[in-house]
Structure 1
Amino acid sequence: MFDFAGKTLFLTGANGGISRAVAQTFFDLGANCVLTDLDAAGVEAFARTLDPSGARVLATRQDAADPQDADRALALVKERFGVLDFLVTSAGLYRARQVAEMDDAYWRQGIAVNLDGVFYTCRRAIPLFAEGAAIVNLASMAGHRGSFAHADYSAAKGAVLSFSRSLAIELAPRVRVNAVSPGLIDTPMVRGLMDAKGAALLEQTPMKRLGTVEEIARVVAFLCSDWASFVTGETVHVNGGLYIAS
């Protein structure tokens, strides 16, 4: 088991299904947690369930598409914990609309949250990183294979993968950077999709089930741990075999 005692995690989109599991996993491993989300009340309530004392968990509002919010939220890391050991970007916006029906504002919003927000947070975190720190950017299977009626989302996630590889080159050897691409995970975000296409999708999945949020969180924790000390610039697929790529 990994020991993250005395280490600090900064997690965006922290009130989502996968993100909550990431926060719980890192907290259980001993880490301090700075949790941000657009839903301030929701993330603050979640933080209290993790750590009612507030000694190790701090929650605040962050609009991923707003660079000033990234400045403000990361300033709290320095003020409260001094340095940053783990950054996990998980804020996202997932909606359904075909390209022919998208207007420019719709496209721009999807890119702003799912791609620009990753840049804003990673860029502003760089001066805070401790030696041996790690970034894990949450991407998606959609970033590799595309997704019907989710072109803005899949385009942004594909760019996050490329951005992560470039950042890994730039920040080495002090900071490692990797990505995780979840497949169909049992969260509210995919339940509508499963209602419509679930039987067919599970038939195409060798593991014949949805993944769990804990299975994603454990991979994220591994990539942040010393056990992955020679892993950087990589993407780990966690999709039960639905999309197999090397």
Structure 2
Amino acid sequence: MTYDFSNKTVLITGAAGGIGKECARLFLDDGAQLILVDLEPNALREVADALGAPERITTVAGDLTDQNVLNEVRATVEIAGGLDALVPAAGIYRDRDVESMSIQEWRQTMSINLDSVFQLTQAVLPHLHDHAAIVNFASLAGSRGSRNHAHYAATKAALVAFGRSLALEIGHRGIRVNAVAPGIIRTQMTDTLVTTNGELLLQQTPLGRHGTAQEVATVVTFLCSEAASFVNGELIQVNGGLYMTG
């Protein structure tokens, strides 16, 4: 399935990650201009080079919790003439049980997974075109909880509530805010989880397999397209039915 994003500008954070990179590829294939953001400059450069079409890709490397980086992203958006889609895909997933979790570990996850999404959204909101789309990244963990990932699960649940609240505030501009909730998607972020609990998770997944980054990215592009023009405030589960079991 392809959509027409010609003359549309899309901002993707976490663009060097497995899902972010695949989102960038699909949007580019469908004609979009891309602003790609990631913490790792070398990885970001490699992604941009691999995608090709340098005339349609602008990159910003840095930590979005840094105000200077946030200012650079906002300036880049202004130069681009605004945004038609915002996809904040950056995040971290660290193992730690609540009893031994330090306040620094809690705050780091909150800062990267939640605070940075709020700050980025607030920064670019005046530059979102009417009828634009925002797709946040929730998680199965945000609905069910996750052993040894309470901080991660809390941020993902909060992003759904944040997005729905935002949808109520900016719906009059025709801007839609939705979220996707991936399950076990084979990326570098989930390598440890798959290694330790992969077989159990496969048994609990009705489709009997793990997902791919492309299967998440296709839902993201759908939600940003005209095909989803009346989908708003929704959470789409992309986890092979795992959310129903366990």
TM-score, normalising length: structure 2: 0.96
Alignment match, 1:72: 72
Alignment match, 1:33: 34
The one-letter code of the counterpart of 2:139 is S
Aligned-pair Cα RMSD in Å? 1.2
Equivalent residue runs for 1:50-89 within 5 Å: 50-51=51-52, 54-79=54-79, 81-89=80-88
The one-letter code of the counterpart of 1:124 is A
2:219 is aligned with 1:210:
no
Alignment match, 1:18: 19
Q: Secondary structure at the match of 1:240?
A: coil
Q: CA deviation digits over 1:27-84, x for unaligned, max 9?
A: 00000010001101211221122125x21001111313234422211211221x2110
Equivalent residue runs for 1:188-199 within 5 Å: 188-199=188-199
Alignment match, 2:181: 181
1:67–1:120 CA contact under 8 A, matched in 2: no
Q: State the alpha-carbon separation in 1 of the partners of residues 143 and 104 from structure 2.
A: 24
Equivalent residue runs for 1:6-155 within 5 Å: 6-51=7-52, 54-79=54-79, 81-155=80-154
1:22–1:214 CA contact under 8 A, matched in 2: yes
Which runs of 5 or more structure 1 residues have no equivalent in the other structure?
none
The one-letter code of the counterpart of 2:196 is A
The one-letter code of the counterpart of 1:224 is C
Q: State the alpha-carbon separation in 1 of the partners of residues 134 and 21 from structure 2.
A: 17
Q: Secondary structure at the match of 2:208?
A: coil
2:60–2:72 CA contact under 8 A, matched in 1: no
Q: Secondary structure at the match of 1:190?
A: helix
2:235 is aligned with 1:235:
yes
Q: State the alpha-carbon separation in 1 of the partners of residues 139 and 64 from structure 2.
A: 17
Identity %: 46
Q: State the alpha-carbon separation in 2 of the partners of residues 74 and 45 from structure 1.
A: 23
1:85–1:132 CA contact under 8 A, matched in 2: yes
Q: CA deviation at 1:171?
A: 0.9
Q: Secondary structure at the match of 1:220?
A: helix
1:110–1:152 CA contact under 8 A, matched in 2: yes
Q: State the alpha-carbon separation in 2 of the partners of residues 88 and 22 from structure 1.
A: 9
Q: State the alpha-carbon separation in 2 of the partners of residues 51 and 63 from structure 1.
A: 24
2:77–2:124 CA contact under 8 A, matched in 1: no
Q: State the alpha-carbon separation in 2 of the partners of residues 125 and 77 from structure 1.
A: 7
The one-letter code of the counterpart of 1:82 is G
Alignment match, 1:163: 162
Q: How many pairs were matched up? A: 243
Q: Secondary structure at the match of 1:243?
A: helix
Q: Secondary structure at the match of 1:101?
A: coil
Which runs of 5 or more structure 2 residues have no equivalent in the other structure?
none
Q: CA deviation at 1:96?
A: 0.3
1:62–1:73 CA contact under 8 A, matched in 2: no
